[in-house]
Amino acid sequence: MILGAFGCGAFYNPPEIVVQAFNSIVNEFEDCFETIEFAVYCKSTKLKNYQEFLKIKNVR
């Protein structure tokens, strides 16, 4: 499954909160998918979203 940083771009949701929500969902459904990956776009000068999404367990 490929997901993204939903709400963290144009809508400016705090990535820390979005990552917490994704973490609980990923943990609950990790056995349902062979791979879970996040595609997170960021400019080279603004890495906050990318760095936060690296904290999600068991994903690439």
User: What tens digit of pLDDT does each residue of 2-59 get?
Assistant: 999 999 988 999 999 999 999 999 989 989 999 999 999 888 888 999 999 998 876 6
Asked, for residue 60, whether it belongs to a domain, the answer is no
Range of the domain at 45: 2-53
Whether the CB-CB separation of 56 and 26 falls below 8 Å is answered with yes
Asked, for residue 41, whether it belongs to a domain, the answer is yes
- Number of domains the chain contains: 1
Q: Is the pLDDT of residue 60 over 70?
A: no
Asked, for residue 26, whether it belongs to a domain, the answer is yes
Q: Token pair 């080279």 is at which residue?
A: 44
Asked, for residue 22, whether it belongs to a domain, the answer is yes
Rounded to 5 degrees, what are φ and ψ at 12?
Answer: 55, 35
